[in-house]
Amino acid sequence: MLVAGYVAFGALAAANDIPFSVAVASTAILWALPAQIVFVEMQAGAAPLLAIVVAVMLSSARFLPMTLVLMPEMRDPRHRSWKYYIAAQLLSLSGWTMAVARFPDIPREQRLAWFYGFTLVLMTVSAASTAAGYIGADRLPPLARLALVFMVPMYYLLILTGSVRDRIAALGLACGAVAGPLAYVLVPDWSVPLGGLAGGTAAYLLLKGR
Amino acid sequence: MEAWPLLVICGLATYLWRGPGVLIAAGINPKGEAFTWISCVAYAIIAGVVARMLVLPTGALAETTALERALGSALALAVYFRLTDRNLFAGVMAGAAALWLIRVAA
């Protein structure tokens, strides 16, 4: 499932003429598919620097509550604190979901090592998938490349509509899906952060209003 | 701006969410109002980008028609929700294959 997303992202990066090294490195440096897609789309659209940074940052805001939940579960006096700062970079949605599910069965002192192992495998597979998608898009005929790039919106269309059991996700994505294109028509350069803030705030207010 | 420095800046920006989570051990409720709001914003951003790719595509997808993208999306959703038990890989592949076949046939 992660593989499909990163293959598609690699193809998107290639189609938008992002350098190969930047595309693959973004999988380790940003390590969040939404942030990476925002980065590539806005970089290709020549959005202002500040707009890109704000949009990428806002799109990965969920890492703070995720680390807040996970870190106490991994805390053990035997480990040095800098190891947790690296663990924070290794965190992704898939790694977090798996860790939350598996930690009850893993002794506390072994959790950090397990987390390093699991997330590094995830990251390596994802970086390899990014590279494969990029090279594939570069070498395949234009029509096949188009199909690979089309996997990006399909991937999120299905993930986002599939996760509607979560009300925050459902409202956020519905409002965002309306606000995103609308903002793009009104303020193309800043459409991603502004559309996200507008759509997200609308979703929040709807959530509270119920 | 060059892609590399921009990537590094963006990486530092995302670490601003990751790093403080290690430092702040207690006292913050991850289910609090501020987090609910910022989660809504995060979902809205990726949903907005994806919706824009489908409705007003730029780059590679700009050469496809709205009907082609709609048919691809419909097939992906049908495979994901109806034909399989929410198999993400099958759904994504079906959508991409549909777009490909429509383009080949056209």
Residues B72 and B105 both lie in one domain: yes
Q: Is A46 on the interface with B (CB under 8 A)?
A: no
Contact criterion met (CB < 8 Å) for A179 and B44? yes
CA dist A3 → A7, A37, A135, A210, B76 (Å): 6, 15, 15, 38, 17
Dihedral of the CA atoms A46, A49, A50, A53 (nearest 10)?
Answer: 90
- B1 inside domain: no
Give this complex's ipTM. Answer: 0.93
Of A3-17, A62-76, A117-131, B43-57, the one with minimum mean pLDDT is: A62-76
- pLDDT at residue B72, rounded to an integer: 97
pLDDT exceeds 80 at position A91: yes
Residues B69 and B48 both lie in one domain: no
**Chain A residues touching B50 at Cβ < 8 A:** 37, 152-153, 156-157, 160, 177, 180
Residues B85 and B98 both lie in one domain: yes
pLDDT exceeds 70 at position A108: yes
Please state the pTM of the whole predicted model.
0.94
Averaged confidence pLDDT in chain A: 94
Cα A85 to Cα B15: distance, rounded to the nearest angstrom? 10
Do B71 and B102 contact (CB within 8 A), yes or no? yes
- B24 inside domain: no
Residues B44 and B72 both lie in one domain: no
**Chain A residues touching B76 at Cβ < 8 A:** 154, 157-158
Q: Can you read off the two tokens belonging to residue A54? A: 């704000």
Nearest to B59 among A15, A160, A197 (CB): A15
More confident site: B1 or A141: A141
Residues B104 and B79 both lie in one domain: yes
Q: Can you read off the two tokens belonging to residue A177? A: 């899906």
Residues B48 and B71 both lie in one domain: no
- pLDDT at residue B4, rounded to an integer: 95
Residues B46 and B70 both lie in one domain: no
- Secondary structure of residue A48 in the 3-state scheme: coil
Residues B74 and B106 both lie in one domain: yes
Q: Is B92 on the interface with A (CB under 8 A)?
A: yes
- B20 inside domain: no
pLDDT exceeds 80 at position A163: no
Q: Is the dihedral of CA A20, B5, B47, A183 positive or negative?
A: negative
Nearest to B91 among A81, A158, A169 (CB): A158
Dump pLDDT digits (tens) for B83-98.
Answer: 999 999 999 999 999 9
- B79 inside domain: yes
Alpha helices for chain A (secondary structure H): 2-15, 20-29, 33-44, 49-59, 63-74, 82-90, 93-102, 108-139, 142-162, 167-186, 191-209
Q: Is B9 on the interface with A (CB under 8 A)?
A: yes
Q: Helix A108-139 vs helix A2-15: angle between axes, to the nearest 10 degrees?
A: 40
Question: Nearest-CA distance from A12 to chain B in Å?
Answer: 8
Nearest to A181 among B3, B18, B55 (CB): B55
Q: Give the percent of chain B with pLDDT over 90.
A: 76
**Segment A177-185 long-range contacts (CB within 8 Å, at least 24 positions apart):** A177/B47, A177/B48, A177/B50, A177/B51, A178/B51, A179/B44, A179/B48, A180/B44, A180/B45, A180/B47, A180/B48, A180/B49, A180/B50, A180/B51, A180/B52, A181/B48, A181/B51, A181/B52, A181/B55, A181/B56, A183/B48, A184/B52, A184/B56, A185/B56
**Chain B residues touching A18 at Cβ < 8 A:** 3
More confident site: B17 or B28: B17
Residues B56 and B71 both lie in one domain: no
Question: Nearest-CA distance from B56 to chain A in Å?
Answer: 7
Q: Give residue B49's domain range.
A: 31-61
- B76 inside domain: yes
Residues B68 and B106 both lie in one domain: yes
Q: Is B84 on the interface with A (CB under 8 A)?
A: no
- B44 inside domain: yes
- B17 inside domain: no
Q: Can you read off the two tokens belonging to residue A55? A: 């949009």
pLDDT exceeds 70 at position B26: no
- pLDDT at residue A28, rounded to an integer: 97
Q: What is the count of residue pairs from A and B with beta carbons less than 8 Å apart?
A: 309
Return the DSSP state at A39. Answer: H
Residue A183 pLDDT level (bands cut at 50, 70, 90): very high
Dump pLDDT digits (tens) for A12-56.
Answer: 999 999 999 999 999 999 999 999 999 999 999 889 999 999 999
Contact criterion met (CB < 8 Å) for B48 and A156? no
**Chain A residues touching B10 at Cβ < 8 A:** 29-30, 35, 39, 52-53, 56-57
pLDDT exceeds 90 at position B30: no
The total of structural domains in chain B comes to 2
Contact criterion met (CB < 8 Å) for B3 and A154? no
- B51 inside domain: yes
- pLDDT at residue B27, rounded to an integer: 62
Closest CA to A41 of B101, B92, B60, B100: B60
In this structure, chain A runs to a length of 210
Q: Can you read off the two tokens belonging to residue A198? A: 């507008």
